[in-house]
Amino acid sequence: MKNLIFIALAIFTISLQAQNSKKAEALLNEVSSKVKTYDNMVIDFKYSLQNNAANVNQETRGDVSIKGEKYLLNLMGTTQMFDGKKVYTIIPEDEEINISTYVEEEENNITPSKMFSFYEEGYNYEMDVAKNVNGRNIQYVKLTPKDSNAEVKNILLGIDSQTKHIYNLIQTQDNDTKITITVKSFKTDQELAKNLFTFEEARYENFYINRLD
């Protein structure tokens, strides 16, 4: 009898977990589908990095413009641009530019252009807590890497239940470093400069250009 009860409870638990996972998947698909309807996105955000054990607590602001796979990111005094083929990292303080060819198979980080689709492969997901943030209902989805050797322990993706836009992303790494990106302004279908995602080498004649490949 005890074995039957245990089996029944196990089946019930597995069923609940499956339902939870399907709800999370459905919500993430709503977010992804909505983002794909936009021609471009311009996002201002707050970036914070925290590791209590190492007594590290950094906070700054950044902005990113995204159009398809292309993006222009400004963060911590550095500009990174992806034109669809190459990644340009411009460091004005050092008057240095690093240029590398983007290889998708080797890209493990969540790039701006992948922020709304990175979870489609390599993660298990489940619904997490819901919070009221200044009158907005933010539903969190917890993402856990399928790769047990991944440096990322888990990711919490906060989604505005009304707009289906991402409110924030909280990434916890194996060393307990926590990176939080919080969206402060989200604009879509903006009039972007035609050369926004074009690297113009002539503008950086005094810079050292390091071609990595």
Q: Where are the domains of the chain?
A: 1-211
Give the pLDDT score at 110: 66
Can you name the residues that pair with 72 across neighbouring β-strands?
65, 81
Structure confidence at residue 165 (pLDDT): 92
Three-state SS for 3-58 is HHHHHHHHHHHHHHHHHHHHHHHHHHHHHHHHHCCCCCEEEEEEEEEEECCCCEEE
Burial label for 68, CB within 10 Å (0-12, 13-18, 19+), is exposed
pLDDT at position 14 is 38
Give residue 16's pLDDT: 39
- Pick the closest to residue 64 from 195, 180, 196, 201 (CA basis): 196
CATH for 1-211 (3.40.50.720, 2.50.20.10, 2.60.40.10, 2.170.140.10): 2.50.20.10
> What is the three-class DSSP state of 98?
strand
Would you give per-residue pLDDT tens digits along the chain (213 residues)? 544 444 444 443 334 344 567 888 899 989 988 989 999 999 999 999 998 877 888 999 999 999 998 999 999 999 999 999 999 999 999 999 999 987 765 444 567 777 777 787 888 889 999 999 999 999 999 999 888 888 889 999 999 999 999 999 999 988 889 999 999 999 999 999 999 999 999 999 899 998 887
In DSSP notation, 171-188 reads EEETT--EEEEEEEEEEE
Q: What is the pTM of this model?
A: 0.82
